[in-house]
Amino acid sequence: MESKVSFKRIFINSLIVTGMTIGAGILALPVKTGMAGIWPSLLSIFLVWVLMLGTAAVFIYKFTHPKTRSRDYPTLFQEELGTKGRWISVFGYLVNYYGILVAYLTGSAAILVALLPFNIPAPVWMAAFFVIFTGLALLGAGRAVKANAVIMVAMIGSFIALLYLTGENVDVSRYNYRNWSFIPSIVPIIVVAFAFHNVVPFICRSLDGDQKASFKAVLLGSTVAIVINIAWMLVVVGALPLDGPGKATILSALKNNYPATIPLSLKLHSNMITAAGMFFALTAIATSYIPTSVALKGFMKGLLGL
């Protein structure tokens, strides 16, 4: 049976997955995986993407199948794990995603303090971000999806600016380095970077429980995300030396817990890279915060429904 959901609706919902997957952590991903080299990193990214897509397909089936349909994860936990397993899973879910929302709020406040020339303390920025983007998330599914799509346009624009500012300095000979022994240490980082499963129930509901449409949205959204991640990996690893004197290296950024934009701005002597990186990080936080909030709202409804 063919899907009756329009491609426009599928595409707009796919941006929810893209926004969840391209969080601000993308700026640090080449640094965290750089010591493995580009080819081990890209292979790991591809395999993790296949794994995450496969597990998402299982959840889509559970949330759309007419005979076993669950509203959200609490009812799914109850059906599959029983009462004790449900409450353990609920506790883990809430700790994880409330913690993520707190991280988004503190991260956005730090970026706004550094990015804007106003003498406004971080708690005020944090409160402003909370009110604006939580408000968008609570306006309803349709408006939240559209707001996320608009912010995605700004995010992709800043990402293109980052690629333009750094792309001409890529040295392809740096792609020859590889160290496969680092794969066990980078795979968990990539798994976290490609986690979007909390929004799967929301997407299924938004697309009227249409199984094919839901899978198309997840496939399209995660494919766009992996393309953007790979492009950023290629640019950063090609533009930065692995090691050497000074702070403009991947190893130095790894030791100091810097995002890739810091050594890039030092290497290329460009404040524009830092500014574009901060704006990208801010929009990436917003496109992750809105879906996470909407998904958490649906989770709580499912929990209270039990």
Q: Tens digits of per-residue pLDDT, 8-43? A: 999 999 999 998 888 767 888 899 998 899 999 999
Q: Which domains, from first to last, does the chain contain?
A: 7-305 (1.20.1740.10)
CB atoms within 10 A of CB 179: 11
List, in sequence order, every residue forming a beta bridge with 37; answer none if it has no partner.
178
Give the model's confidence band at 223: pLDDT under 50 very low, under 70 low, under 90 confident, else very high: very high
Handedness of CA 46, 99, 88, 221 (dihedral sign): negative
Burial status of residue 268 (CB atoms within 10 A of its CB: 0-12, 13-18, 19 or more): middle
Give the model's confidence band at 207: pLDDT under 50 very low, under 70 low, under 90 confident, else very high: very high
Listed ranges 48-62, 136-150, 274-288; the one with the highest mean pLDDT: 48-62
What pLDDT score was predicted for residue 38? 93
**pLDDT (average), residues 212-230:** 94
Task: Please enumerate in sequence order all residues whose Cβ is within 8 A of that of 197, keeping only pairs 6 or more positions apart, or say none.
Answer: 52, 55, 56, 59
Residue 51 has pLDDT above 90, yes or no: yes
Encode pLDDT of 68-122 as tens digits.
Answer: 666 789 988 988 899 999 999 999 999 999 998 998 999 899 989 988 888 899 9
Residue 1 has pLDDT above 60, yes or no: no
3-state SS of 225-245 is HHHHHHHHHHHHHHHCCCCCC
Give the whole-angstrom CA distance, residue 169 versus residue 158. Answer: 18
What pLDDT score was predicted for residue 2? 56
Considering the entire predicted model, what is its pTM? Answer: 0.89
Q: What percent of the chain has pLDDT over 90?
A: 46
Give the model's confidence band at 3: pLDDT under 50 very low, under 70 low, under 90 confident, else very high: low
Residue 226 has pLDDT above 90, yes or no: yes
Q: Tell me the average pLDDT of the chain.
A: 89
What pLDDT score was predicted for residue 203? 93
